[in-house]
Chains A and B, each alone.
Chain A
Amino acid sequence: MDTVMKVKNICKTYITNKTQNNVLTNVNFDLNNGEFIAVMGPSGSGKSTLLYTISGMDRMTAGKVEFSGRDVSNFKDNELADLRLNDMGFVFQQMHMLRNLSILDNILVSAYNSKNGRTKEQRKKIKETAIALMKKLDIIDIADHDITEVSGGELQRACICRALINNPKVLFADEPTGALNSKSAKEVMRQFNQINQLGTTILLVTHDVKVAAKTNKVLYMEDGNIQGEYELGRFTDESTSKERERMLTSWLMDRGW
C-alpha cells in the first residue's frame, strides 16, 4: 500500500503564561493510501492538535511531515493553501458554512476559487461533480436551501461534499459526528465508509467508540503521543459493528480509557 503521509517526530509546544506546554511529543505514524484511521484519546491528549498540525492548519514546533513524498513542514502559507485546496479535505465538528451562500454554492466555492475553476466549462464540470456528490450523499433536495433551513445531519453531509469537491487525497475530520444526533451520526459514518471504499484516505478524530469502530484502524493518544494502534480491518457490514465496538472498547480499556 502506498504511503500518502509520513509523520516523523512531530512536536508541538505552546507557551502560555510563561509555562511550556508540550501538546505533542515525537509523534510518528504513516497514513497509507485508502486507509480510514480514527484517532482516539482522552480530552487534552493532543488528538485535534495532531490533526491540525499534520494537515498544515497549524505550524509544528519540530518534526517533519511528508505528503505524497514532499516535505510540507516548511511550506509557505500559499503552498499550504494550495495543498489544502487540491489535496486535502476537512470536516469539522461544527458545520461551518458561509451564511450568505446556498448549500450548493458553499460546496462549489473553493473549487470555483481554484485555478481550475475560472472558465465557464471548468465551472460547469465542477457543478456536475458537486451535484453527483450531493446525490450520492442524498442531499440533492437541499441544494438551493439556505444553511439555516436544513438539519444538522444534512449540513454535515454538505460539509463532506464540500471537502470532497476537489477530489482530495486525504480527508481530515475533527469530531464530525460530535454535534449530531445518533441517527444523523450513523448516516454520516455510512457516507464516510462509502467514500473510503471509493478510495479516499480518511483520518478522523473522535471520542465516540461507535464511530471509531467503523474505521480500519484506531490510534490511541495520551499525553501528546501515540500509545498504541488497533487494527480493526475494513468495515463492510453493519451487522459486525457491535462486535467491533466491543473489541475496540476492550482494547481501549486496557489502555486506561
Chain B
Amino acid sequence: MFFKILKKDMKRKKVMNIILLLFLILASALIGSSLSVFYSTVSAIDYTMDKSNVADLIQLNSDFNEGEEFINNINQLENPLFDEVIEEPYIVVYDSDIITNKKERTLDQSGIWLSNWLQKIPTRYNKVFDERDRPLVLKQGEIAIPRTAHDRRDIKIGDNIQISLNGQKYDFVVAHIVKDVAFGSDMLSVKRYFISDEDYEGIDGKTENANRGYLSSLIAKEGYSDNDLLQQITNMDLVATQGFNFTKSLVSLEYIFNMLIAGIMVMVSIILIAIAFMILRFTILFTLQEEYKEIGIMKAIGIKNRAIRKIYLVKYFFLALLGGGIGLVLSVPLSSLMSTTIEGYLILGDGRLRLLLSTLGVILVIFLTIIFCYRCTGKIRKFSAMDAIRQGSTGERFKGIKRFPSLRKTKMRIPIFLGVSDIFADIRKFLVLTITFILGTVIMIIPINATNTLKSDNMMEMLGLARMDSCIKLSDYDESDVEGFIKDMKNQINEVVPNTDFWADYSINVKLANVSDTKSKRVTGYRSVGKKASEYNYLEGVAPDLENEIAITRRLATYLNVGIGDTVIVSIDGKEHEFIVSALYQTVMNMGDGFRLSEKMSMNMPISKAFLWACKFNASNDNISDNIEKLKEAFPAIEFQTTQKFLSSMLGSILDSIDDMILICIVIIGGVVFLITCLLVKMLLTKEIPEVALLKSLGFRNCSIKTWQISRILIVLLVSVILGTIIANTGGNYLIGLVFKMMGADKVMMETKVLQVYVVVPLFLLVITTIAALCSIGQIKKTKIWEINNQD
C-alpha cells in the first residue's frame, strides 16, 4: 500500500517532486565538489611544496657579481641559521624577447616588467613538475614554460618559441607546461622557463653578466623558522643583500586567493543546502496540510502515526537517495572543472581521498535530509480523524487575521492590493523566497564589488601608486638622464594630448631598520620621477618633501615600531641613509610593506628598476581610450595600455578566478531563483485554486488574477533585493575589506558600480523571477469556477 500511495503522490505532484529532486541533486553535487576542491586546494599547496622541496629562504640576485658576493658573505656568518645553501645560476630574459611562431591572443602580462629567466631543471630544492605531475625532464632543443605563459600568451605544447639574448637567437619547442610551486603563483612576477643542461651551458657561455643572476636556496637549521633565517639575512649589513628574497611561508600565502575562492564555494554550497532544507520543510508542511483528510482517514481506520509518517519518510528518503546519488556522480566532473585553475599550478595528490570526501559530504546531505524530514513530519501527530470528517474545521474559532490597511483606503490597482495584503497576512509563506532572493542578491553583489574594486582606479591608491589613465611600456632611453628624458617625453606627449602628466615610478629593494636596529626588514619601495611625492595619497602625515624624508606603510611602521617623526635607517646604493618618517600610507603589494622617497632623493635609476611608466590626461573633454589611441598612433614604438590592463597584469589570475566565480554564482543563483519561484508559485496556486475560482466568478479577468499572483512575488523580490543590496554593500564590503586588510590595506576604498549593483543584478533577478512565475501560473487559465467547491 505504501508504494501505491507513494506512486500516486509522485505522479500527482510531479513538478514539485522534480524541483525538490533537482535541489537535492544541486546541493549534493555542489557540496561534494566544493568539499573536494577545498580539500584539494588546501592539501595541494602543502603536498606540492613538500614534493617540490621548497627551500626555507629563496634569495634572488639579478646581478651576477652581487650573487657571488652574497654567497661569500653568508658563508662568513659566525652563527648561520642555515644548514645548507644551494646556488643556481639563471639567465634573465625580457618578456618581449620571447617570441612565438603565431599571432598571440593576449599579452596582458606585458603591462609591467615581468622577470623571466632561463634555468636548468632544479634537482634538490624548488623542484618542478610537468603537466602530468611527473618530475620535469627535457631534451636538447626543448623548453618548459610557466603556466602564466600558457594562459596569458596562449603558448601551447608543441609551439615553437624564439628567445633573443645579447643579439643571439635561440629556438625551442615547448615540451611541457611546468608546475613550479615556488614561482608559479600569479602574485609573484618572477617566472621561470626551463631548458636542458646542455642548452643552458651553450647559452650561458655567450651571455653577458648583466643578464645573469643567482638563485640561492637556503635551508634553515632545525629549531629555526624561515622567518628567523630571513631576519638574520636582512640584518646582514651587506650591499649584497640588495637582491630580492622570500620565505617558504610566503609561498603558501601566495595561494591565499585560491583557498579563499574554494572556501567561498563551500559557503555557497552550505547556503544552497540551507535553502534546499527550507524548501523541503515548506513542501512537507504544504503536502501535510493538503492531505490532512487522507491522514485523518488513515487515523480513523486505525493506522498509527508512525506508519503514516513512514509513508512520507519513504518518499523523501527515496528522493534524497536519488538526488544524492546523481549529485555525487555530477560532483566528479564538477570538481575537476572547479579545480582546473589550481590543477594547472599544483599537484592535487590522492584522488581517492577527494572522492571519499565528496561521498562523505553527499552522505551527510542525505542523512541530514532524512533527519530533517523526520522532524518536519512530526505535524502528522496533530491531524485527527475529526479534521477529515469536518473538512479541517473542528469548530474552533480561527486566530485573528493580520490585515493590510483596508481596500477602501488604497489607491493601488486591486490585483496588486490583493498581492500586498497576502504578504501582510502571512509573511511566513514567503520566507523561503525572501531568504533566497536576499542570499542570491548578496552572493552576486559581493564578488561583483570585489572584482570592480580590483579593476578600479581606487586599486591604484590601494597599491600605493598614483591614479593614472595609461600605463606605458618603455624599454629604451638614456638611463643617465631619466629626468631629462621624462621632461622631453612629456613635451612630446603634450603635443599629441595636451595637459597630460607623465611620470615613472622606480622601485628600490632595500633594508629598512629602526634606529636601535632591533627590527629591520627588506622592503621594496618607490621613488617617482616627473611626479612629486606629494601627489600620492597618504593615510596620515605629510608627503616626503625633503631628501631625508620618507613615507612608509602603516604595516611596516608597526613592524619597525616607528611612527611619524621617527628616524629609520635605509641602505641605498651601498650607503646608509637616515630618513625621517613624514607620512604613513597603504599598499596591498608585497603583503603591505613599502615606502616612498621624495623626488629630491638622488639615486641610480637603471631601466631594470623602472617599475611603472604612466600618464594621466587632465583635459576633461576627451575620453581616455581616444587619447590612448592618439598616443599609439603618434608613438608606434611605445606600448600604451589602460589602467585595467595594468591591474590585470598585476593581479593576474585573481581577477580571472573572481570572474569565473561570478559566472558560477550567476548560473547557480539564476537556477535556484528560477526553481524556487516555480515551486513556490505552483504550491501557493495549488492551495489557492478556490480563491482563483472565486475571483473568476466575481468577473476578474485572467490577466488580473495573474497580476495578483505575480505582483506579490515581485514585491517580495523588490524588498529582498533592497535588503540584499544593503547587506552586500555593508556586511559584504566589510568582508571584502578584511581580505584587502590581510593583504596590507588599511583604508579600503570599495568601488560600487551603480549600474551593475542597483540595476543589472535586480534586473537579472526580476527577469528570472518573472519568467519563472509566468511559467508557473498556467493553472489560472485552466481553473474552472466550479473548482471553488474544492475549498476546505
Q: How far is the CA of A60 from the CA of B470 in the complex (A)?
A: 75
B397 touches A93 (CB 8 A): no
Which residue from chain A places its CB closest to the CB of B694 in the assembled complex? A96
Chain A residues with CB under 8 Å of chain B are 48, 52, 57-58, 77-78, 81-86, 88, 90, 92-94, 96-102, 104-105, 108-110, 112-114, 123, 127, 146-149, 162, 166
B698 in contact (CB, < 8 A): yes
B329 to chain A, nearest CB (A): 40
Q: CB < 8 Å: which of B401, B781, B791 contacts A100?
A: B401
CB distance from A177 to the nearest CB of B (A): 16
Question: B699 contacts A85, CB within 8 Å?
Answer: yes
The answer to whether B67 has its CB under 8 Å from any CB of chain A is no
Closest 4 pairs (CB-CB, A-B): A85-B699, A57-B785, A110-B698, A105-B407
Specify which chain B residues have a CB less than 8 angstroms from the CB of A149 in the assembled complex.
397
Contact status A105-B701, CB under 8 Å: no
In the bound complex, how far is the Cα of B693 from the Cα of A90, in angstroms? 12
Would A81 and B788 be within 8 Å (CB), given that A90-B697, A96-B694 are in contact?
Answer: no
Q: Tell me whether A84 and B408 are in contact (CB under 8 A).
A: no
Please measure, in the bound complex, the distance between the C-alpha atom of A105 and the C-alpha atom of B417, giving whole angstroms: 11
12 contacts between A and B (CB under 8 A): A57-B696, A77-B702, A82-B699, A85-B698, A85-B700, A92-B789, A100-B422, A102-B407, A105-B407, A113-B414, A113-B704, A123-B408
B 41-59 to A, binary, CB cutoff 8 A, 1 in contact else 0: 0000000000000000000
Shortest distance from the beta carbon of B511 to any chain A beta carbon, whole Å: 75
CB distance from B608 to the nearest CB of A (A): 75
* B744 at the binding interface (Cβ < 8 Å): no
Smallest beta-carbon distance B643→chain A, Å? 55
Residues of B within 8 Å of A105, CB to CB, are: 406-408
Contact B407 A96 (CB under 8 A): no
Interface residues of B in 752-792 (CB under 8 A from A): 781, 784-786, 788-789, 791
| Complex Cα spacing A110 to B788, Å | 16
* Cβ B700 vs Cβ A94 within 8 A: no
Kindly state the separation between the CA atoms of A226 and B468 in the bound complex, as whole angstroms: 91
Bound CA–CA A162/B781 (angstroms): 23
Contact A101 B421 (CB under 8 A): yes
Alpha-carbon gap, A105 to B403, bound state (A): 11
Complex contacts, B694 vs chain A, CB 8 Å: 96-98
In the assembled complex, the Cα of A127 lies from the Cα of B697 at a distance in Å of 20
- Quick check: A113 and B415 within 8 Å, CB to CB? yes
Interface size class of B (residues with CB under 8 A): 35 or more
Known contacts A90-B697, A105-B406; A77/B424 CB under 8 A: no
User: In the bound complex, how far is the Cα of B404 from the Cα of A78, in angstroms?
Assistant: 29
Interface centre among B406, B415, B703 (most CB of A within 10 A): B406
The interface residues of chain A, by DSSP majority, are classed as: helix
CA distance in complex: A88, B789 (Å):
19
Nearest residue (CB) in A for B704 is A113
Bound form: Cα–Cα A57–B414 in Å: 22
B35 within 8 A of A: no
Could you tell me the distance in whole angstroms from the C-beta of B9 to the nearest C-beta in chain A? 21
Q: Would you give the shortest CB distance from B479 to chain A, in whole angstroms?
A: 81
- Closest residue of chain A to B403, judged by CB? A100
Please tell me if the beta carbons of B408 and A108 are within 8 angstroms of each other in the complex.
yes
Q: Which residues of A contact B690 (CB under 8 A)?
A: 96
How far apart are the CA atoms of A114 and B700 in the complex, in Å?
8
| Shortest Cβ distance from A79 into B: residue | B701
Assess the B418–A98 pair: CB atoms within 8 A: yes
Given A52-B786, A100-B425, is A148 in contact with B401 using a C-beta cutoff of 8 Å? yes
A110 shortest CB reach to chain B, Å: 4
A-B contact count (CB 8 A): 105
Please give, as numbers and ranges, the residues of chain B lying within 8 Å of A98 by CB-CB distance.
Answer: 418, 691, 694
Q: Mark B646-663, 1 if CB is under 8 A from A, else 0.
A: 000000000000000000
Closest to B691 in A: A98
**B789 → chain A, closest Cβ, in Å?**
6
Separation of A2 and B498 alpha carbons in the complex (Å):
91
Give the residue name and chain of the B residue nearest to A97 (CB). B694
Neighbouring B residues of A93 by C-beta, 8 Å? 789
B786/A148 in contact, CB under 8 A: no
A58 touches B421 (CB 8 A): no
Please measure, in the bound complex, the distance between the C-alpha atom of A101 and the C-alpha atom of B422, giving whole angstroms.
Answer: 10
The answer to whether residues A112 and B403 also contact, given A81-B696, A98-B694, A105-B408 and a CB cut-off of 8 A, is no
**A78 and B701: CB pair below 8 A?**
yes
Q: If A94-B791, A108-B408, A146-B401 touch, does A81 touch B786 (CB 8 Å cutoff)?
A: no
Q: Is the pair B398, A148 in contact by a Cβ cutoff of 8 Å?
A: yes
Q: Is the CB of B789 within 8 A of A94?
A: yes
Q: What chain B residues lie within 8 Å of A83 (beta carbons)?
A: 699
A231 to chain B, nearest CB (A): 29
Knowing that A105-B406, A148-B400 are A-B contacts, what are 17 other residue pairs whose CB atoms are under 8 Å apart, sorted by A's residue number?
A57-B697, A77-B702, A81-B699, A82-B699, A84-B698, A90-B697, A94-B789, A96-B691, A100-B404, A100-B418, A102-B403, A104-B408, A105-B407, A108-B408, A110-B699, A147-B401, A166-B699
Judge whether A112 and B784 touch: CB under 8 Å. Answer: no
A86 touches B699 (CB 8 A): yes
Contact B699 A57 (CB under 8 A): no
A112→B406 CA distance, assembly (Å):
13
A114 & B699 in contact (Cβ 8 Å cutoff): yes
* Cβ of A53 to closest chain B Cβ, rounded Å: 10
Q: What residues of B have a CB within 8 angstroms of the CB of A58 in the complex?
A: 784-786
Which residue of chain A has the shortest Cβ distance to B781 in the bound complex? A77
Contact of A127 among B408, B422, B698 (CB under 8 A): B408
For A166, what are the chain B residues with a Cβ–Cβ distance below 8 Å?
699
* Inter-chain contacts of A110 with B (CB < 8 A): 698-700
Chain B, 428-447, CB within 8 A of any chain A CB: none
> Could you tell me the distance between the alpha carbons of A112 and B407 in the complex, rounded to whole angstroms?
9
Q: Which residues of A lie under 8 Å from residue B786 when comparing CB positions?
A: 48, 52, 57-58
Nearest chain B CB to A222 CB, angstrom units = 21
B699 partner residues in chain A, CB cutoff 8 A: 81-86, 88, 110, 113-114, 166
Residues on A with C-beta less than 8 A from B691 are 96, 98
Evaluate whether A99 and B408 lie within 8 angstroms (CB atoms) in the complex, with A52-B785, A114-B699 already known: no
A123 to B417, CA, bound (A): 15
| CB proximity to A under 8 Å, residues B673-715 | 690-691, 694, 696-704
CB distance from A93 to the nearest CB of B (A): 7
Contacts of A82 in B (CB 8 A): 699, 701
Tell me which of A57, A85, A108 contacts B784 (CB under 8 A).
A57
Complex CA–CA separation, A85 to B702 (angstroms): 13
Within 8 A of A (CB), among B191-250: none
A49 to chain B: closest residue by CB: B786
Residues of A within 8 A of B418 (CB): 98, 100, 109
Contact A162–B698 (Cβ < 8 Å): yes
Give A221 to B699 CA distance when docked, in angstroms.
28
